[in-house]
A and B are shown apart, each in its own frame.
Chain A
Amino acid sequence: GAVVSQHPSWVICKSGTSVKIECRSLDFQATTMFWYRQFPKQSLMLMATSNEGSKATYEQGVEKDKFLINHASLTLSTLTVTSAHPEDSSFYICSASTASSGNTIYFGEGSWLTVV
């Protein structure tokens, strides 16, 4: 199946700093990528939809200036958590879809962010 790679797998940062998470589709071109956040024992919550070459579409309640998304190529989307705070600590997961698989969603491995 399609492979989506995420980096880093886990990161610890100080409060007030920014952290960038990368999401790459390794064997297909993803015109659309999605960013989710999952708190412990909670479901995945869609944060934003990232479209290659255009601005991301954010879900209601997600601050676009705090969670910067860039989808510069058909294989790479990045999520930058700016001025991170402890409440931003979470499991961040990206996913991508490919039309050749009927738009089935494939997930990256996820990135654990801990803000101290």
Chain B
Amino acid sequence: QKEVEQNSGPLSVPEGAIASLNCTYSDRGSQSFFWYRQYSGKSPELIMFIYSNGDKEDGRFTAQLNKASQYVSLLIRDSQPSDSATYLCAVNRGSQGNLIFGKGTKLSVKP
């Protein structure tokens, strides 16, 4: 089983809709979880991180964590064409902060 799994997509949503991105992880001892956005040919940029079970909201983004189910998700409200990118889920597997990444989900927001 891969450590961090994501549906590769592409996930296509119309402009203004809610995009839901999902991620599961295998290491039950994982403590922190990150969502990064990566545009083609560019380096990943941090969207948000979450440590505790439940929801964490930041603007149009909401991260949801369920440690019992080993599941983390990212919701993007009022999706914009500029949100079209690959979204990477990452899990911190150690105290030094080395992240394990999923393969990413490609999101396409259609005008």
Contact = CB atoms under 8 A, between A and B. Distances in A.
Contacts, number: 60
Contacts of A43: 88, 101-104
Interface string B63-98: 000000000000000000000000010101001111
A45 B34 CA distance: 16
A107 B98 contact: no
A44 B88 contact: yes
30 contacts: A1-B46, A6-B43, A32-B96, A34-B97, A34-B98, A34-B99, A36-B101, A43-B88, A43-B101, A44-B44, A44-B88, A44-B101, A45-B101, A46-B99, A46-B101, A91-B41, A93-B44, A102-B32, A102-B51, A103-B32, A103-B95, A103-B96, A104-B46, A104-B49, A105-B34, A105-B46, A105-B97, A107-B36, A107-B43, A109-B43
